[in-house]
Amino acid sequence: MVATLSTLGQNDLLRSEFTALQGQIQQVQNQVATGDKAQVFGDLGAQASLDINLRQQADVIDDFNNTISQLQVRTKLIESSLNIIHDSALNVQNLAFVSNQPSQRIEVVSSAQAAINQITQQLQAAADGRNLFGGTQTLGNPMIGLATLLPTVQTAINTALAGGPPNVPAAIQAAVAGVFSSAAAYYTGGPAYPPTQIDQGLTINDSITASDPAFLTILTGLYTLAALPQPVGPVAAPPNISDSQFDATAQAAASQISSGLSQLEGLVEKNGDNEKMLSDETNTHNATLTILQTQIDNIELVSLPDASTRLTQLQTQLQASYHIVASLQGLSLVNFLPPPSVA
């Protein structure tokens, strides 16, 4: 029997080497097939903790982006509502400044009532089940409508006129001001909600409530016009009003609406600044996410050309190892003995 050079220890060593090579080949094959370096974080080795940290940072930014997206919907709708409110009030203001004919006086009253309905509708608008102008009151109508409030204003005006005031326009203004002494006359919503966080250490104050002085001033002027009784002619005895008294009251109300529109511009500017801030933060977050994702990809994803090259090298190494083993198994001590001498 010929003794080979192989030993049990050598066989175990070779078997272990083959298994390791086959394992590496299988791992690279999986990487090429999936594009991922590992299926679980633990297989990333020393980079696992870094990868987890990067993913956590990306998740936080994603949450901020989701919040910003919701706020952008709200600010866009607020912008639309503020524009409608502005245009509605401005139209009535312009009519009131020039109303000096019977048909114009009738029109300014009806236009004021229509504008109140339209503005009230905008101030009770909601997005995703949440009032845009209701503050912390997310459910329920934050506005008292024309049908409820107009009779109260008309009663206050009639009571003031019944006393025969020496200055009718001033008396009417005082009567309406008494009704609208606070926003509670028409607003049943809550206070402004707190600022919303859109980044680490950065918040945005986007809450605009219908109780804002701009809306209070505009609605006071509009309700004055909406509740005005039609004049009876050049001369009138209480509780009636004359043409000149109606016109003077209408112009005073128009001036009040104009003042409210100036205040409204501040709200439009605030909302516009918020829209820009949200857009800028979105851009910043997206840029950061791109950087984080690049770092994550560098850790998790495989370079297919490199992996293919490595796979070829491992397969070549394994084949060479098999060839060497096969050669060794064919050798024995006889191959290393010197040839017998010739006598």
pLDDT of residue 92: 98
| 164 shares its domain with 89 | yes
| 117 shares its domain with 160 | yes
Would residue 48 count as lying in a domain? no
| 292 shares its domain with 166 | yes
Placement of tokens 């009040």 in the chain: 256
| 81 shares its domain with 123 | yes
| 89 shares its domain with 225 | yes
DSSP state of 36: B
List CB contacts of 286: < 8 A, sequence separation 6 or more.
65
- Got the DSSP string for 147-194? HHHHHHHHHHHHHHHHT--SSHHHHHHHHHHHHTSSGGGTB---PPPP
pLDDT of residue 245 exceeding 50:
yes
Would residue 272 count as lying in a domain? yes
Q: Which residue has the higher pLDDT, 107 or 2?
A: 107
| 76 shares its domain with 157 | yes
70-80: average pLDDT: 97
Average pLDDT, the chain: 85
- What are the b/e assignments for 155-177, b being 16+ CB within 10 Å? ebbeebbeeeeeebbebbbebbe
Q: Which two tokens stand for residue 321?
A: 């190892």
Would residue 159 count as lying in a domain? yes
What is the CATH number for 171?
1.20.1330.10
265-285: average pLDDT: 98
List CB contacts of 185: < 8 A, sequence separation 6 or more.
144, 149, 179
Q: Which two tokens stand for residue 121?
A: 């509708």
pLDDT of residue 2: 43
List CB contacts of 102: < 8 A, sequence separation 6 or more.
230
Which range, of 7-21, 42-56, 239-253, averages the lowest pLDDT?
7-21
Domain that holds residue 329: 307-334
| 311 shares its domain with 247 | no
- Give the dihedral sign, CA 181/183/187/189: negative
pLDDT of residue 195 exceeding 80:
yes
Would residue 264 count as lying in a domain? yes
Q: Indicate the SS3 state at residue 332.
A: strand
Q: What is the dihedral of CA 125, 130, 132, 137, to 10 degrees?
A: 110
What's the rounded Cα separation, in Å, for the pair 272 and 33? 50
What's the rounded Cα separation, in Å, for the pair 244 and 235? 9
pLDDT of residue 180: 97
| 236 shares its domain with 274 | yes
Q: Could you give the angle at the alpha carbon of 38 between the alpha carbons of 311 and 29, nearest 5°?
A: 25
Q: How far apart are the first and last CA of the chain?
A: 27
197-224: average pLDDT: 97
Global pTM reads 0.79
How many Cβ atoms from other residues are within 10 Å of residue 294's Cβ? 10
Would residue 193 count as lying in a domain? yes
Give the count of alpha carbons within 13 A of 317, CB side only. 15
Would residue 49 count as lying in a domain? no
- pLDDT tens for 94-111 read 999 998 999 999 999 999
| 284 shares its domain with 151 | yes
Would residue 209 count as lying in a domain? yes
Between strands 202-204 and 196-199, the pairing is: antiparallel
Would residue 56 count as lying in a domain? no
With bands split at pLDDT 50, 70 and 90, how would you rate the model's confidence at 19?
A: low
With bands split at pLDDT 50, 70 and 90, how would you rate the model's confidence at 149?
A: very high
| 277 shares its domain with 165 | yes
Task: Pick the closest to residue 96 from 219, 211, 221 (CA basis).
Answer: 221
With bands split at pLDDT 50, 70 and 90, how would you rate the model's confidence at 255?
A: very high
38-67: average pLDDT: 82
pLDDT of residue 305 exceeding 60:
no
pLDDT of residue 1: 44
162-171: average pLDDT: 96
Task: Pick the closest to residue 256 from 209, 215, 212, 210 (CA basis).
Answer: 215
| 167 shares its domain with 215 | yes
Domain count along the chain: 2
325-337: average pLDDT: 55
| 188 shares its domain with 276 | yes
pLDDT of residue 17 exceeding 70:
no
pLDDT of residue 112 exceeding 70:
yes
